[in-house]
Amino acid sequence: MNTNPARYAFPSTSARQFVAVENFYAKVVVELGVPGLIIVVTLFGIILWRTYTAFRRLRDPKLRAFSIAFLAFLFLQVIYFWKGSYLDIDPVNIFSGFSLESP
């Protein structure tokens, strides 16, 4: 799904045939079709809704502040996916080097 490095993978003669799709939702349609888009949008909706309901149940002010910030971050990611996939670039892809195993 990451088309950023893919545009350099082709020789210069076939680069004209390469079409980069930058929009995350368009990538989903290309790779999974319209049913896949419906599933992805539903999944994003469920994640946002469950985060919102968890925020409403919290009573600790510090946890509520963190929770609303995290909810805003998730909401903005869903909106920014119209422009491109920000999950591919730092600092959003923080889990790429994260490991739960001890060294």
Q: Provide mean pLDDT across the span 75-101.
A: 66
The predicted-structure confidence for 24-72, as pLDDT tens digits, reads as follows 888 888 888 999 999 999 999 999 999 999 999 999 999 999 999 989 9
Where in the chain are the domains?
6-92
Band the pLDDT of 1: cuts 50, 70, 90: very low
Kindly report the pTM of this predicted structure.
0.66
The predicted-structure confidence for 8-21, as pLDDT tens digits, reads as follows 665 555 555 556 66
- In this prediction, residue 82 carries a pLDDT of 82
CB count in 10 Å sphere of residue 5: 8
CA-CA distance, 98 to 94, in Å (whole number)? 7
